[in-house]
Amino acid sequence: MGPKSQLAWISKTLHPCFYRANKGTHKPACVSSMDEELGIVKSLWIGFMHITLPRRRLKIIPKSLNSDYNGRNQDMQKLAQSLFIDEDIGAEHGEGFETFRPRGPLKVDVDYLNDRMREKGLQRIRYAMRPDEAFGLIYSWDNVLADTRTLKLDAWKQLAVEEGKPLKDDKETVKHILCMTSDQLLRKVLRWVDPNKPTDYFKARLAKIYYERLSKVKAPREGLKEWLEALSTAGVPCAVASSLDRFNLLAALQRMGLYKYFQAVVTQEDGMDSMAQRFLSAAVKLDRPPSKCIVFEDDPRGIAAAHNCSMKAVALIGSHPAYELTQADLAVSSFSELSVINLRRLFANKGAEFMDLQKQTAEKKPPKRRITTDTVS
């Protein structure tokens, strides 16, 4: 069997699809992991062979969402637990990860990442010529990239209509729906008690309604696409942090036309325990130190988590009023108010901000040195 026939056999074995030989071409196999998961890869190269992969249509809703609740739907319960939960902010400037190695445990915290991931060598020269590329932008999915506030309210209203339960439309109830977990809301506020339907039933049904409505969202926030296009032109890498599962998040980004602008995603499968850990994981995936990252949030708790990770925070006014977002480094009402130069201004006072180390002059003069050796006059 010659080299050409061997490569043909390899390509047939890897994937039952059409292939053709291309002489004189040397291209390595290069497939994006995000493209591979979505099933939108058109072709790849293996040695001298060009393999064309069949296109598949995206399925927004997993198969488990199409089945009725029967008490054994573990997938739906898992999705429900990740949707409407009260996330922890994280430790105050000490959040990180811990790995166990033969030499001993290694604690990867904020200071460790800032020290190990700082630019060095030729990278410093590159960032001096193109300073915008040194930054990393991290976007929260909820109410930043998509209007999940409306999705959550509509899901609760539809659930109340289906079950024939009362649901007030006043400001206090709306605030409870947006800020409380589903368990607290069902037991303490709404008090939906049904001996035939446990709390897990309402949570699973709520998650199904939420994902059904999420599958119909196609429009991003106002000015978001233009802002991401400007960042892409400037070479600034971006990431998304969300508690959704990876499949639904990537499908939503693809449907909204934002998939190509993000180089990394942090989802439920990453197993992060707090907001701060999710932001740190996004910084590692972007290969940027946390001190050079900017988090886009709409929640004061997310802003606190970003600052605990030594990151800058840009608040989006909408879900919370402006007076509740005063801790953010910058607050805007829409993405159309932003420009790439704003990123540099956020770091203009670096070294002179609160808790930064400062050089101080010593009040006492150093003692005079006494010469103890003989000198030749």
Q: Where are the alpha helices (DSSP H) in 262-299?
A: 275-286
Span 272-292, pLDDT tens digits: 888 999 999 999 999 999 999
Q: Outline which parts of the chain fall under CATH 3.40.50.1000.
A: 96-145+218-344
In this structure, whether the domain defined by 96-145+218-344 belongs to CATH 3.40.50.1000 is answered with yes
Could you give the CA distance from residue 190 to residue 176 in angstroms, rounded to a whole number?
10
User: How far from 152 is each of 15, 149, 180, 271, CA to CA, in Å?
Assistant: 41, 5, 12, 23
Q: Which backbone phi and psi does 137 adopt, to 5 degrees?
A: -110, 130
Residue 132 exposure: Cα atoms within 13 Å on the Cβ side: 14
Could you give the CA distance from residue 305 to residue 92 in angstroms, rounded to a whole number?
8
Q: Are 295 and 123 in contact (CB under 8 A)?
A: no
Full-model pTM:
0.72
Q: Mention every residue, 6+ apart, whose C-beta is less than 8 A from residue 189.
A: 173, 176, 180
Residue 77, both tokens: 């319960």
Could you give the CA distance from residue 186 to residue 341 in angstroms, rounded to a whole number?
46
pLDDT at 86: 66
Could you give the CA distance from residue 5 to residue 366 in angstroms, rounded to a whole number?
80
pLDDT at 42: 42
Q: What is the mean pLDDT of each run of 10 residues along the chain (377 residues)?
A: 45 37 37 44 42 44 41 53 69 71 82 87 88 93 88 86 79 76 75 74 84 87 92 94 90 92 92 89 93 93 91 90 91 92 84 68 76 64
pLDDT at 21: 35
Task: Give me the residues paired with residue 297 across strands.
Answer: 315
